[in-house]
Amino acid sequence: MGKIAFVFSGQGDQFPGMGKQLCEQYGAAADVFKLCDSLREDTSRQCFEGSEDELKETKNTQPCLFAVEMAAFKVLQEKGIKPDMVAGFSLGEVVALTAAEKLSLEDGFKLVCKRGEFMQSAAEKFDTSMAAVVKLPNEKVEELCAAYSQVYPVNYNCPGQVSVAGLTEQMPQFSADVKAAGGRAIPLKVKGAFHSPFMNGAAESFAKVLEGVAFDKGETQVYSDVTAQPYEGDERELLSKQICSPVKFEKIVRNMIEQGADTFVEIGPGKTLINMIKKISADVKTYCTAEMETIFAEVK
C-alpha–C-alpha distance, residues 63 and 277, integer Å = 25
The residue among 187, 205, 229 that closes a domain is: 187
Closest CA to 184 of 138, 144, 132, 236: 132
| Percent share of the chain, pLDDT over 70 | 100
Residue 233 reports pLDDT greater than 90: no
Residue 264 domain flag:
yes
176-183 long-range contacts, CB within 8 A, separation 24+ = 177/144, 177/147, 178/133, 178/136, 178/141, 178/144, 181/136, 181/140, 181/144, 182/135, 182/136, 183/133, 183/134, 183/135, 183/136, 183/140, 183/141
The answer for 17, left when phi > 0, alpha when psi is -120 to 50, beta otherwise, is: left
My answer on whether 283 and 154 are in the same domain is no
Q: What are phi and psi of 33, to 5 degrees?
A: -60, -35
Q: Is residue 245 part of a domain?
A: yes
Any catalytic annotation for residue 149? no
Is 192 inside any structural domain?
no
User: Is 90 exceeded by the pLDDT of residue 189?
Assistant: no
Q: How many residues does the chain have?
A: 300
pLDDT for residue 166 is more than 70: yes
pLDDT for 234 equals: 87
With respect to residue 36, please indicate whether it lies within any of the assigned structural domains. Answer: yes
Residue 102 shares a structural domain with residue 237: yes
Q: Are residues 181 and 165 in the same domain?
A: yes
Measured between alpha carbons, how far is 91 from 89 in angstroms, rounded to an integer?
Answer: 6
pLDDT of 196 reads 97
Kindly state whether residues 33 and 118 are assigned to the same domain: yes
CA angle 254/257/261 to nearest 5° reads 145
Residue 1: the pLDDT is 63
Domain range spanning residue 257?
3-123+197-298
- AA identity, residue 180: A
Last residue within a domain, chosen from 147, 167, 187: 187
Q: Is 41 buried (19+), middle (13-18) or exposed (0-12) by CB count in 10 A?
A: exposed
Co-location of 132 and 119 in the same domain: no
pLDDT for 268? 97
Active site residue 195: yes
Whichever domain contains 135, its CATH number is 3.30.70.250
Question: Looking at the domain assignment, is residue 99 inside a domain?
Answer: yes
Q: Active-site residue among 90, 129, 163, 196? A: 90
Question: Among 142, 167, 187, where does a domain finish?
Answer: 187
The predicted pLDDT at position 216 comes to 94
Give pLDDT tens digits for 288-299: 998 999 999 999
Output the pTM of the full model: 0.96
pLDDT bracket for residue 243 (50, 70, 90): very high
What DSSP character marks residue 246?
-
Domain total of the chain: 2
Q: Is 49 part of any domain?
A: yes
Same domain for 256 and 289? yes
pLDDT of residue 219: 85
Burial of 31 (0-12, 13-18, 19+ CB in 10 A): middle
d(CA 219, CA 224): 16
CATH number, position 113: 3.40.366.10
Q: CB 211: neighbour CB atoms within 10 A?
A: 8
d(C-alpha 11, C-alpha 91), whole Å: 7
- 106 within domain boundaries: yes
Q: What is the pLDDT of residue 300?
A: 82
Same domain for 165 and 70: no
Q: Are residues 88 and 182 in the same domain?
A: no
Give the bridge partners for 167, in sequence order: 128
- List the catalytic residue out of 195, 196, 205, 224: 195
Confidence of residue 88 (pLDDT cuts 50, 70, 90): very high
Whether residue 163 sits in one domain with residue 99: no
Mean pLDDT over 85-101 rounds to 98
Say how far apart CA 129 and CA 123 lie, in whole Å.
9
Alpha-carbon 207 to chain mean position: 19
Same domain, 209 and 63: yes
Q: Please give the Cα distance from 104 to 36 (Å, whole number).
A: 12
Report if residue 143 sits inside a domain: yes
Shared-domain flag, residues 37 and 167: no
Give Cα 27 distance to the centre of its chain.
25
Please give the pLDDT value at position 267.
98
Q: Is the pLDDT of residue 178 over 80?
A: yes
Looking at the structure, tell me whether residues 76 and 159 fall in a common domain.
no
Residue 172 has pLDDT above 70, yes or no: yes
